[in-house]
Chains A and B, each alone.
Chain A
Amino acid sequence: MMNKVIIADDERALRMLIAGTLEIGNYEILEADNGIDALELVKQEKPDLIILDVMMPGMTGYEVCKRIKTDSDISDTKVLILTAKGQQSDKEAAWEAMADIYLAKPFSPMELLSTVEEILNK
């Protein structure tokens, strides 16, 4: 079965990079460029995984994550938070938002790929 993955990032280049990275896997990829759209898309599409950027217009990645995890309809969605920040406080914020995993930018596409595979295989 093909896993459905949403990529939410306001940077087009990054969405391209993530999509390109996941290209070799068996994923159905959907994109959103802001937090609000991303949340809507999750509700509609009920993806297996959402890769969330933190600094997004409309709604931050943490907020989107929190909403997903507190909405019983979609709380099963795995959340991978990608943030450009790399500080302890952000890591904590990611865990607080109940994200499944946290990856700091700049990231290695291979690492991202293996992380995504790991989460979805569990």
Chain B
Amino acid sequence: MKKIVIALILLSVFSYSISLVAYADGVDLDFHKVFEQHGSIMMIIDPETDAIVHVNKAAANFYGYEIEQLESMKINEINILTHEETEKEIRAAADEKRSYFVFKQRLASGDIRTVEVYAYPYADWNKTWLVSIIHDITAKTELEEKNRKMTNAFLFVLSGAVIFMAFAGLLLFKSYRKVKAQNHEINNFNELWRTFIDADDSLIYLKEENLKYVFVNKAFEDLYNRKASEIVSYDDFDLIDDELAVVHRKTDFDVIEKKAIVVDEVKWENRTFQTTKFPVKLLNDQYGIGAYAKDVTEAYNNKRILEKANEQLETINKELMEKQYTLEEQNAVIEELNSQLEEENFKQHQQKEILHAIIDSLGAGIMMTDTDGAILFINKAWKDIFRHLEFGYQFYPQDVFYINGVTLSSTERIIENMMIGIEDSNEILSRLKSLLTDNRSRYSVDMEQTNPVKRFINLYSNPCINQNNNSFGRVFVVRDVSHQKEVDRLKLELISTVSHELRTPMSSIMGFSELILTRELSAERNKEYIGIINSEAKRLTTLINDFLDIQKMESGKQVFNKQLTSIDHIIEEAVSLFQNFSIKHKVIYHKSAESIPLVYCDRDKLMQVLSNLLSNAIKYSPDGGEVKIVSEVGSNRVKIQVSDQGLGIPAYVEGKLFTKFYRIHNDDRREIGGTGLGLAICKEIVRAHGGEISFESIIGQGSTFSFYLPYSKSSTDNDSVKKAAGDLYTDNKDDVLIVEDDKSTVKLIKEVLKDEGLEMHAISSGEEALQLVAKNSYKLIILDIALSGQLDGWEVLKELKGNQETSNIPIIISSVYENKGVASQNDIADYLIKPFEPQEMVRMVQKALKGKLNSKMLVSNDDVLTEVILDMLNTRGLTVKQIDHSGNMLIITLEGEEGLKNE
């Protein structure tokens, strides 16, 4: 932009100058106007007095004074630099070889402006003047300043001629004015301007309308090396080669025809000329061509150099930018790599942490060594296993996982310390040491440590092999296998105990039966042997049953049929059962509370507990005495104690007594038989009821076994419980449920079945029947079809058979009409058609129960007789279910047998 502005200014200067030239010949030239109207700020100064001799309009505008005012001022009234500063600036300009000075000047308004002053000395006839062209550079930014400096050379070259022309014009004008003012006549005016024009380096010439030269200046003459007189009347074809002449001619025509100013650049003999051609009105009213041709080779070259430099700069810039771009790219890649690396690092760190956590959480002690035998890490379990050793802490802190700086020798020392208290450790130790630097072998060893702790340790060591089949270290794993060893030992012991327990009676059975078979024995001996065989077989059976029981209980497979039951009743029953067990023993029940709360328990199993404890109490007090049962009611539990006055239990067995197969062997007990399972069974049963069993004993004085059962408070009041159960409460003694709405039929059934030793309960509605069946376990249901409630017999039947828990209960349908089809479809035991024969019903019931019927015995209440009977029942393997007193008679109810009625 700036360049264009300068070019315009120059152009205007040229035009003025040329018009001056063009009209110089006899025309009254208005030099004043040329100078005054010039766009640049111009000033002519007398360097001797510093007086401003002349200024132009642009200067007046710039400084804000009238022309006359300025012309009466001195330059130092405008320049605000001190004399020293001015001197300094002039020196700097000289040093830098620049053609301008930078000054600060004050305007009329008081503003301070920074200006560039181009000063050209010009020698007049008798005096030297200083022509200054001033540029206001105050507003220029630093950047522009740089730019300006760069273009300075160019500017200077271009402006040189202009200034000169203007200056010449000025002086002419001035002289003219002076001439006028002083009435001084200048005759040789032509000569004067001719001098100025000839002083110009530029080619100045004028062509006629026929394109022949009419005037050329000295520079023109010098260039062509011909006299002006020769050139005049030549045209271009006479001066230069045709090709260039054609170019000139073309522009010449353009100027004449279009009356336009044409600027072109022509190369001639390695030089570049910028020619400004303009139309000139000749005296004959024709238009000729005025031209001002400036050798711009230098400027052009400078420009070229500048352009080239610019280009290079741009290229460099571009390259730089590209480089910067690639650098950025590289940076981005590096950043990406960095972040990946970081992520990788993080992952690795995380993996390491995870590995650490896993290894530390393992139960087995793990130590890893590198291929040189130096420890890499030790996990928590390892430290725990060897925590009794202080050896480690000098090598590694307790809570550090990864170990640094441990050498082979310290690893060896650690292992040596580990072996303290290990049996036969020498061989193991040397093996372990050799393993440290051995990257192939595997090793496993069981060690028994006796000091400072007694335990078994399993140690194994494997090499760590990577995918390339190279070893990168070795791992040592230690486990405390004491528990495992103990379990193994117990298992072995159990097997040998069971095998012993089974083989002993087996030996008798096989041995005696073989003797009977192979020998002629007396009848008495025969019977004796058979008796032994029998009792040993029974012993075996009891053993197997007990064993199966305990297995079932221990594995949690035993189903406990719990009901709200009166503990009191069970105790009383147990006591009555053992009352006459032995003549030497007296079994007493001491009830400490008036009412004992109902306990949610399995009646049969609890009976088993009491039987075991009572039979133990009797067995282990061979000299007889008192066996006492005491019941106590606590705030939330019932405590039952069974104590005897027998042998007592030695203190050392504590903790083992309730272990299965555990039996105390000593002389006193040698004849007392048993499987060693009774107490273990008791413990399991009591525990299954949420209670605990324990014992206290003084050797020689007797033992007391106590167990407690929890009860819930709400069950304290029998009545309320019964009410809560909706009047459906039973003691679960009932074997048969009669669902019948006709009372006389119920009475008849009860009468008929009474002799079969069955406990019966009758209910009239189907709904109630279902509730009762859900709560109790009946052996048989006799079901009428017409019932009092909503449900009829068929619906009750469907419900019972559809429920898995009740589908196995045999059902006899009693009805007035027969419908055997339905009966067979529903898996009905039998079909009883009313009215029925009593014997028919008994037969059906017996068939349905398949031996599940209970038998009842009537025995006169005589101690000796009862004992004999109980003994007999016992030897026959019959279980007494219940003994009831009736006057001076005992009613003994037996479970599951009907064949005793005859005896």
Contacts and interface: CB of A to CB of B under 8 A. Distances in A.
A90 B493 CA distance: 12
25 contacts: A12-B671, A13-B512, A14-B504, A14-B507, A14-B508, A17-B532, A55-B500, A57-B666, A58-B665, A58-B666, A58-B667, A84-B500, A84-B502, A84-B503, A85-B496, A85-B500, A105-B504, A105-B506, A106-B503, A106-B509, A106-B511, A107-B507, A107-B511, A109-B511, A109-B515
Interface in B486-544: 496, 499-512, 514-515, 518-519, 525, 529, 532, 536
Interface residues of B, number: 29
B670 interface: yes
A-B interface, 8 closest residue pairs, ranked by CB to CB distance from nearest:
A57-B665, A84-B503, A84-B500, A106-B507, A17-B511, A105-B507, A106-B506, A13-B508
B503 A86 contact: yes
A110 interface: yes
A67 B670 CA distance: 22
Contacts of B507: 14, 17, 84, 105-107
A27 B506 CA distance: 25
Given A11-B504, A84-B503, A106 B510 contact: yes
Contacts of B502: 84
B496 A11 contact: no
A57 B502 CA distance: 18
Contacts of A10: 665, 670
Interface residues of A, number: 27
Interface in A47-67: 55, 57-58
A17 B512 contact: yes
A100 interface: no
Q: Which of A10, A33, A34, A109 has the most CB of B within 10 A?
A: A109
Contact of B499 (A12, A14, A86): A86
Contacts of B669: 57
A107 B496 CA distance: 17
Nearest to A82: B507
Contact of A108 (B514, B532, B671): B514
Contacts of B499: 84-87
A38 B502 CA distance: 24
B570 to A, nearest CB: 34
B665 A21 contact: no
Contacts of A25: none
Contacts of A84: 499-504, 507
SS class of chain A's interface: helix, strand, loop or mixed?
Answer: loop
A33 B508 contact: no
Interface in A8-37: 10-14, 16-17, 20-21, 24, 33-34
Nearest to B510: A106
Given A84-B507, A106-B509, 18 more contacts: A11-B504, A11-B508, A12-B671, A14-B507, A17-B508, A17-B532, A20-B529, A24-B519, A57-B666, A57-B667, A58-B667, A84-B502, A86-B503, A105-B504, A105-B507, A106-B507, A110-B514, A110-B518
Nearest to B496: A85
Contact of B515 (A11, A20, A104, A107): A20
A20 B512 contact: yes
A14 B536 CA distance: 11
Contacts of B525: 20
Contacts of A24: 519
A13 B536 contact: yes
Given A20-B515, A86-B499, A33 B506 contact: no
Interface of A: 10-14, 16-17, 20-21, 24, 33-34, 55, 57-58, 84-87, 90, 104-110
A16 B535 CA distance: 14
Nearest to A12: B671
B522 to A, nearest CB: 12
Interface in B657-707: 665-667, 669-671
Given A12-B671, A13-B536, A16-B532, A21 B504 contact: no
A61 to B, nearest CB: 12
A108 B515 CA distance: 9
B540 to A, nearest CB: 11
A17 B507 CA distance: 9
Nearest to A10: B670
A34 B510 contact: no
Given A24-B519, A110-B514, A33 B532 contact: no
Contacts of A55: 500
Interface string B194-216: 00000000000000000000000
A116 to B, nearest CB: 14
Contacts of B510: 106-108
Nearest to A57: B665
A20 B669 CA distance: 25
B667 A34 contact: yes
Contacts of B509: 106
A20 B529 CA distance: 10
Contacts of A16: 532
Contacts of B512: 13, 17, 20
In this complex, the member of B510, B529, B670 whose beta carbon has the largest number of chain A beta carbons within 10 angstroms is: B670
Contacts of A11: 504, 508
Interface in B187-244: none
A87 B536 CA distance: 23
Nearest to B501: A84
Contacts of A108: 510-511, 514
Nearest to A20: B515
A9 to B, nearest CB: 9
A17 B525 CA distance: 12
Contacts of B536: 13
A85 B496 CA distance: 6
A33 B673 CA distance: 13
Interface in B726-764: none
A33 B672 CA distance: 12
A21 B515 contact: yes
B496 A109 contact: no
Nearest to B535: A13
Nearest to B533: A13
B286 to A, nearest CB: 150
A18 to B, nearest CB: 8
B515 A17 contact: yes
A54 B503 CA distance: 12
A34 B507 CA distance: 18
Interface in B399-446: none
B182 to A, nearest CB: 157
Contacts of A33: 670-671
